[in-house]
Amino acid sequence: MAHPISRIADDQDGAPAIEFSEVRKQYGGKNVVDGLSFDVRPGECFGLLGPNGAGKTTTLKMLLGITSPGSGAIRLVGEPIPARARFARERVGVVPQFDNLDPDFTVRENLQVFGRYFGIRGARMDALVPSLLEFARLENKADARVGELSGGMKRRLTLARALVNDPDVLVMDEPTTGLDPQARHLIWERLRSLLARGKTILLTTHFMEEAERLCDRLCVIEEGRKIAEGRPHDLIASVIGSDVIEIFGPDPQALAAELEPFVERIEVSGETLFCYVDDPQPVHARVKGRDGVRYLHRPANLEDVFLRLTGREMVD
């Protein structure tokens, strides 16, 4: 039998796996998603980034046909949503934000029971289970109850469960939120192996590192609107385009005033000063060896982009 998590032919010029065009959704008169458009191409990992409440989860719910847009058009694996959502879901795997594994069942039973919802049963399911367990690195936990699993194991089981129907598209809502770093790295490694098999992934996240590592393209949304879209490195180059020196020390306001002439732009966030510099030397020279001041010179990253676009000072 072929590997149950199949490799998808390298056909990148097919129709988009996911299409959102001009999608709007209101709750109680407030626009939660406001004219959102994006496409996800087959085989791509696409990230939806945004602060809490930006409309990421609502976007995923609309995509899966769990809730309907007020206006606009959605397609998932070519099917119009919500009209043919249940047919689209036959080819999609979902990893929700909160674990909803069945606590009454063992690891193996969770996979078997879920397979039934896709019409997979009997010998076909029995053949599938070992490879799903292997993929999730849960071979030794097949007969453990869900309650005995660690957070990382539960996530991996949820991921394995989302693969029972060998989906073309995986939809993941904050796949590594709440996991410790080791567990997070293992999930990332597993997701990369799915991408290598040609699967399409749409994920939401507010971990910039996750987005930078995994996503081919991403879309930053705020208050239901797209405020930027592109490849992570293109976004960093176009939105920031310089190195960053972070300076931690007393009286950042005074220091900001002093450094202002030598930087492209400067921002104060709490106790930290962010200097965007094309030429770092003048700033280095002025902060080096100063009492109580530490600094870090680094290339710009996605977090800088995100914070530039959504504001350094979080309004929570």
Q: Which stretch binds other proteins (CB under 8 A): 23-31, 37-45, 226-234, 272-280?
A: 23-31
Which of 209, 290, 208 has its CA nearest to residue 247? 290
- Tell me which of 94, 163, 266, 277 binds other proteins, using CB under 8 A: 94
Identify the CA nearest to 41 among candidates 9, 19, 23, 57: 19
Cα 38 to Cα 17: distance, rounded to the nearest angstrom: 11
**What is the nearest approach in angstroms of other proteins to the Cβ of residue 307?**
26
Closest separation between CB of residue 102 and other proteins, Å?
6
Contacting other proteins within 210-239 (CB under 8 A): none
Stretch that binds other proteins, among 83-91, 134-142, 177-185, 250-258 (CB under 8 A): 83-91
**Using alpha carbons only, how large is the chain's radius of gyration in Å?**
22
Round to whole Å and give the CA distance between 85 and 273: 48
Where in 153-182 is the site for other proteins (CB under 8 A)? 165, 173
Distances (CA, A) of 237 to 69, 221, 241, 263, 300: 34, 19, 4, 17, 8
Give the CB-side neighbour count of residue 70, counting CA atoms within 13 A. 14
Near other proteins by CB under 8 A: residue from 96, 178, 198, 280: 96
Residue/partner pairs of 123-128 with CB below 8 Å, 24 or more apart: 127/1, 127/4, 128/4, 128/164
**Binding flag, residue 117, other proteins (CB under 8 A):** yes
248 is a site residue for other proteins (CB under 8 A): no
Distance in Å, CB of 235 to other proteins, minimum: 27
Q: Which residues form the interface with other proteins (CB under 8 A)?
A: 24-29, 31, 57, 60-61, 64-71, 82-83, 85-87, 89-90, 92, 94, 96-98, 100-105, 109, 113-114, 116-119, 165, 173
